Amino acid sequence: MTSRQGPWSGLRGRPLGLLVSILFATLLSGCPKPHIHRFTTSPPVACPGDEVTLHWETNGPVHLESTPEVAKLGRKGGTGKQTVTISGPTTFRIEVSRVFGLRKEMTESEVLSPPKDLEYGIVDAEGQGRFTCSTQTGALESSFQLDDSHISPNVRIGQVLNMNVRTLVIRKGEASESVAEGATAPGFEGQPAQGLWRLRVPLDEGESCEDALESVDGRLIIKLQLSCPR
């Protein structure tokens, strides 16, 4: 009579250490590699005492931690979000692991806190719907919006620096200033950084819209000196 052979029958008589190694190799080969599909903190710029929201998507349970330490992080499910309060600049870390921690993946996301200088504006727009221009109005114009995805509502403006090679008219709310190349515009001091920023480049006499757009190279950038309420 022929004996029936089980799946491990070929391992009989093998040393225990070899059996354990083969078992681990089998487990690892059938276990997907840990992967972090998404990990974000919003907003990425916030004041001490502000709330930020962490979003994550992974293929396994995660461990969240931060520097400095933020309460109620730790072990979480593979997909989720959590809102926490920061005390200042904070680095958040997420780690996902599989099979007793033998395979791991980790990444970080940083939240900045003012005082801080950051650049915002129109970058590499290539004239595709980001600019309007008319020789009748005599200007090349564009705008950008800062909202909760960029910056917290508590962040305020100090000075604004024109980073362009042209004179720039900057408008936000009721404030408007004409700012020379490389010069600052103090008139926005104390305003919330959030909101709609409008940028206008006056055309030189006889200048075409195409030449004006080429002169700014599809970019209109301003540097915002950011602060928090005291």
The reply to whether 98 and 134 lie within a common domain is no
Domains: count for the chain: 2
74 is a domain residue: yes
Res. 55 pLDDT band, cuts 50 70 90: very high
The reply to whether 105 and 172 lie within a common domain is no
State the distance between the two ends of the chain, measured CA to CA, in whole angstroms: 89
Instruction: Please provide the average confidence, as pLDDT, over all residues in the chain.
Output: 87
Q: Please report the pLDDT score of residue 189 as a whole number.
A: 94
Q: Tokens 């931060």 map to which residue?
A: 66
The 3-state DSSP class for residue 3 equals: coil
Cβ–Cβ < 8 Å for 224, 197: no
Q: pLDDT tens across 63-80, in order?
A: 999 999 999 999 999 999
For the ranges 98-102, 117-121, 176-180, 224-228, the lowest mean pLDDT is seen at 98-102
100 is a domain residue: yes
115, with CB counted inside 10 A (0-12, 13-18, 19+), is: exposed
Residue 8 has pLDDT above 50, yes or no: no
The 3-state DSSP class for residue 76 equals: strand
Report the distance separating Cα 155 and Cα 193, nearest Å. 6
Q: Please report the pLDDT score of residue 13 as a whole number.
A: 56
**Residue 108 CA from chain centroid, whole number:** 11
User: Measuring CA to CA, which residue among 207, 201, 103, 114 is closest to residue 152?
Assistant: 114
Residue 14 has pLDDT above 70, yes or no: no
19 is a domain residue: no
Which domain range does residue 134 map to? Answer: 116-227
Residue 148 has pLDDT above 70, yes or no: yes
The reply to whether 74 and 144 lie within a common domain is no
Residue 87 has pLDDT above 60, yes or no: yes
Q: What are phi and psi of 215, to 5 degrees?
A: -70, -30
pTM: 0.79
Q: Return the percentage of the chain with pLDDT > 90, whole number.
A: 71
Residue 125 has pLDDT above 70, yes or no: no
The reply to whether 152 and 216 lie within a common domain is yes
The reply to whether 56 and 105 lie within a common domain is yes
